[in-house]
Each structure stands twice: as C-alpha cells, then as structure tokens.
Amino acid sequence: MIRLKDVEMEYENGTKAIKGITLTIEDGEFVFLVGPSGSGKSTIIKLLTGEVEPCAGRIMINGFSVSNISEKQIPLMRRTLGVIFQDFRLIEKKTVYDNLAFVMRAVGAPQKEIRKRIPYVLHLVDLEKKADSYPTELSGGEQQRVAIARALVNNPNTIIADEPTGNLDPERSLELMSLLVKINELGTTVVVVTHEKDLVDRFGKRVVTIDSGHVVNDSVGGYVGGHIHG
Amino acid sequence: MAKRHDFRYFFHEGLSNMFSHGFMSFAAIGITVACLLIMGTFTLVAVNANALLADLEQENEILAYVDDSYTEEQAKALQSQLEKVPNVASATYISKEEAMEDFKAQYPDEEMFQDLDPAILRDRFAIRMVDLKLQSQTVEKVKEVEGIAEVNAFEEIAGGFVTVRNVATVVCVALIAILFIVSVFIISNTIKLTTFDRREEIAIMRMVGATNGFIRWPFVYEGFMIGFLGAVISFFLQWALYEAVAQGVDTNDTLQLIRIIPFSQLWVPVAGVFAGAGILIGVGGSLSAIRKFLQV
C-alpha cells in the first residue's frame, strides 16, 4: 500500500513542487497519475522511490515509512518497487538476459533462481526469443518491454512507470499499457505517470490528476481537468 | 534474500571494468609502478645507507690511552672499570707492543718505522659504543676513570654519521608520503572515470535496491587488481634495477668500500611492502572515487 499524508516538498532552489498532497493507493490497484508538465508528477515518483525526502508530511510504501527511513532500509524499500522510465535506461553493453540478471544479482538472488526466473519474465513480456540480443538491436517497444521485464524480475509489490510510453508510437503505447494492465491483473500494484489522455481514457482506471503540486481530481474513468502540455 | 559475498561476480565485474577501460587501467597501473619504484628505490637506498652507517658506527672507536706510570697489569685492570661506563659496548686492551705492530703493519714498506721502540707508544683501550649519539658524554665519563691519561675521539665523524642518517630518513619518509598521496589521487581519478562511465548502471542498481556494499565491491576489486598488478610489476623492475646497481657498485673500484645488501636478503620485505602499498593505493583510490556515487 502507498500512502501520502499532507506531503510537502520544496527543492533547494526554492521551487515548491508538492503543496500538501494526501493520497492512498491500495494493494493491487492500477492508478494513472496525470497532470501537465511541472505539476509535480515526477517529484511524487522521486518521493516514492526515496530519491528525495519530503519537507513535511508522511509517506508509507509497502510497510516502509519513507519520510524517516534509515539509509540501510532504503535498498530494502526499493526492492518492493519496480521502476520503469521513459528512456528505458537499459545497459547497452549487456544482453537482454544480462540486463535482467544483474538486477537480480544486485539483490543477492542465487544463480539457480536467476536462471529460472528470467525466462519466465521474458515470456510474460513476449521476448523470450530476444534473450541474447543487445538493447540496440531491439525496437523502442521491445526495449520498453525489456524495461518492464527488469522492473518485474525481482517480483516487486508495486510497479511505478514514469511516462513509459513517452518514446513510443500510439500502437506500441497501447500494447505496452495492455501489458501493464495484465501485470496488474496478476496482483501487482501499478502506478503509471503519463500525460496521454487518449490512453488514460481507454482503460477506465483510477486517475489522479496533479496540478501545481496539488491533487485536483481523483476519480475512476478518465482524464479530468488540467490542460496538457507535452 | 540471503546476504552473501558473491566473490566470482565481483571479481568478474572488477576484471571486466579494468579491461573495458584498458587505457586508463594501463595508466593507473603505470602510475602505481612508477610511484612504487620511486618509493622502493629511495627506501632501498636508505636501508643500504643505514646498514653502511651501522657498519661505520661499529668501526668508530674511541681510543683511551693509559697513564705512562701504569704497569701492564695495572693497565689491564682498567678494563672492567671502563666496561662499567654507561654506553660502552666493549673495551679492548691493546698493549704498546701490539699497537706498534699494527702501526708497522700499516707501513710495511717504510724501513725507518720498522726499528721503532714500542716504548714511545702508550697502552690503550679501543672502546666501542652502544649509541654513537652519546659519544661526547661517553668520552667525558671515560676521561673520569682514574689511570686514563687521554681520550681520542672523532666527534665530527660520529656527528656526521648521525646527521646523514637522520636527513636520509626524513627525506625518505617525506617522499614516500607525497608519492603515496599522489598515487591514491591518480588511481582515485582513474576509477572515478570508470564509475562515471557506469553511472547509469549504478543508478539502476540503486533503483532496484542494491546495497551500497554490492555496488562498491566491483570497484574495490578493480582497485585491488590495479594495485596488486602494479605491485607485482614494480617488484620485478625493482629487483632488476637493484641487481644492476649492485653489480655496477661491485665492479667499480672506487666504490669498493660500499657494501650492498644482497637482494636475496631483502626480497621478502620488499615484496610485502610493495603488495601492501599497491593494494592500499588501489583500494583507497577506488573507495574515494565511488564515495560520491553512493550518496543519493
């Protein structure tokens, strides 16, 4: 479960990115986080992954209190999350298999488990035949599916996707979003940050709209309010 | 999941880091070799100088002349008193006859010395000291012994030995300290480049919940390997250099007085110090390089 209570966040340069947000995302939910550029969406992702600390309020993620988490506990908290980025962030000199294997090794998974888990996850994203390919040999859609596989490989409780379709054409975007919905149906909480209205409307999931550091709408069904800047 | 040290993985990653930045690793190893060689050469020169000074110290004696009025028995009896003087290591009795024989032996070709009467000389004691620095105090104490007429000591020479050794030690320690810091700085920068190149990888590792230790180990192994390889190469170069210099000194007639310690007596400490310093430089450099990447 993700819970933000009266969270405020101000950067060192004085920019107040979050101005008192309260939000709860239950286990197994699928939530779109939408809003115009500079609304504070990315800051929320940074707060959730422990990259920045809130100035005020409380954040609980999968049993960890992020607002006053110790340095030793940050890696443990992050293991409950799988993060997907707009620019994929794959390691180009590693094969698809090695891109996944190294994140499993990073959390201390034994070799036997790595050999068993990776083919399963690659099958989930329909890339089992690309295990030995390098990221540069794959299309944008395939690369993003590798990124999803990487987010999934350590079996996290929650997937956080930051503009995952930003670099994809509409058809691949739809495919990718369908994949995330499928993952959600298997029991993983999914939080997707996006500004693609059509896509959001199509899936009829819970939509939280952020604008100027506030939650301006929280409803099920479609994209509400706010003008959208690419 | 169980916490364990995945030696194979870290070693493999460290090794591949080293090879993927071949030129920088080569430069880092080269710098380590250069620093260790300079450090090693200065240290070995200092060690040899120390040994030479210790030899010369050993040979540096005070001559204490016995009063002419003393008979040989009376003179010999002074030995026990002299040996009780603080800082006296040994006092060897030399009769006038023995002294004359020694004198004649030094000039075998001078006929006019051969007929000299030993009575013109005095009985004496050759005194060796424990600590050369305390020579002047020892001379005063020896003079106070009843029956000792005169003491002959080369204080300037003794003082010179001590000064040379002190200066050599200070210069050596200062140079080693400076070179050590320079080496750590250069290795640190080399590994910083590696880490910079791998910042994306490090960021992903952090994002998926890798501990700082897990991220740090491959770089520590890389630093270890660079340092160790540098130590091995510099050891063999140092050996070759030392042997070449030793041979040069050995075959040079004007340097016959200088005794070079054989490398066979020195290789164990040299290997140990090189390995230790190399590893310390490598690991220290890598730890300082990776520190800033682990702060987020």
CATH topology of domain A1-80+156-230: Rossmann fold (3.40.50)
Closest CB to B210: pick one of A81, A106, A150.
A106
How is residue B227 written in tokens?
């340092």
Task: Classify A215 in phi/psi space as left (phi over 0), alpha (psi -120 to 50) or beta.
Answer: beta
From chain B residues 171-200, the ones with a CB under 8 A of any chain A CB are: 200
Shortest CA distance from A78: residue in chain B: B209
The pLDDT, as a whole number, for residue B105 is 77
Partner-chain contact A77 B209, CB within 8 Å: yes
Q: Tell me phi and psi for residue B196, to 5 degrees.
A: -65, -40
Shortest CA distance from A156: residue in chain B: B208
pLDDT tens, N- to C-terminus, chain B (296 residues): 445 677 888 888 888 878 877 787 888 888 889 888 988 888 888 788 778 777 776 677 788 888 888 888 888 888 888 888 888 888 888 888 888 888 777 777 666 667 777 777 888 888 888 887 788 888 888 888 888 888 887 666 666 767 777 787 788 788 878 877 887 787 778 777 777 777 888 888 888 888 888 888 888 898 899 999 999 999 999 999 999 998 888 887 776 667 788 899 899 999 999 999 899 888 888 888 887 667 64
Chain A residues within an 8 Å CB radius of B207: 49, 78, 83
Q: Select the residue from A53, A72, A89, A94 to test the B interface by mutation, using most B Cβ atoms within 10 A.
A: A89
Q: CB distance from B2 to chain A under 8 Å? A: yes
Shortest CA distance from B201: residue in chain A: A91
Shortest CA distance from B6: residue in chain A: A108
Closest CB to A49: pick one of B200, B207, B214.
B207
Partner-chain contact A91 B4, CB within 8 Å: no
Domain range annotation of chain B: 7-56+159-294, 61-153
Chain B residues within an 8 Å CB radius of A95: none
Rounded to 5, what percent of chain A is helix, strand, coil?
35, 25, 35
CATH assignment of B61-153, among 3.40.930.10, 3.30.70.3040, 3.40.30.10, 3.60.70.12: 3.30.70.3040
User: Residues A107, B1: contact at Cβ < 8 Å?
Assistant: yes
3-state SS, residue B78: helix
C-alpha distances (whole Å) from B156 to each of B135, B159, B266 are 10, 5, 32
3-state SS, residue A190: strand
| Close Cβ partners of B161 (under 8 Å, ≥ 6 residues apart) | B53, B56, B57, B60, B132
Partner-chain contact B2 A108, CB within 8 Å: yes
Local structure of residue B190 (DSSP, 8 states): H
* Distance between CA atoms of residues B26 and A171, nearest Å: 49
- Tell me which long-range contacts A109-112 makes (C-beta under 8 A, separation of at least 24): A109/A154, A109/B1, A110/B2
* Distance between CA atoms of residues A45 and A49, nearest Å: 6
This prediction has a pTM of 0.67
Measured on CA atoms in the order B104, B110, B115, B119, is the torsion positive or negative? negative
The pLDDT, as a whole number, for residue B257 is 67
| ipTM field | 0.79
The pLDDT, as a whole number, for residue B238 is 95
Local structure of residue A155 (DSSP, 8 states): -
C-alpha distances (whole Å) from A16 to each of A42, A56, B285 are 13, 12, 39
How is residue B281 written in tokens?
């430089």
- Per-residue pLDDT band for A184 (boundaries 50, 70, 90) equals very high
Q: CB distance from B8 to chain A under 8 Å? A: no
Domain range annotation of chain A: 1-80+156-230, 90-155
Partner-chain contact B209 A75, CB within 8 Å: yes
Q: Select the residue from B19, B20, B204 to test the A interface by mutation, using most A Cβ atoms within 10 A.
A: B204
pLDDT single digits (tens) A57-110: 999 999 999 878 888 899 999 999 999 988 888 988 889 999 999 889 888 888
How is residue B151 written in tokens?
């003491």
The pLDDT, as a whole number, for residue B3 is 54
Partner-chain contact B209 A107, CB within 8 Å: yes
Shortest CA distance from A158: residue in chain B: B208
C-alpha distances (whole Å) from B187 to each of A25, B38, B193, B223 are 48, 17, 10, 8
Q: CB distance from B19 to chain A under 8 Å? A: no
The pLDDT, as a whole number, for residue B5 is 73
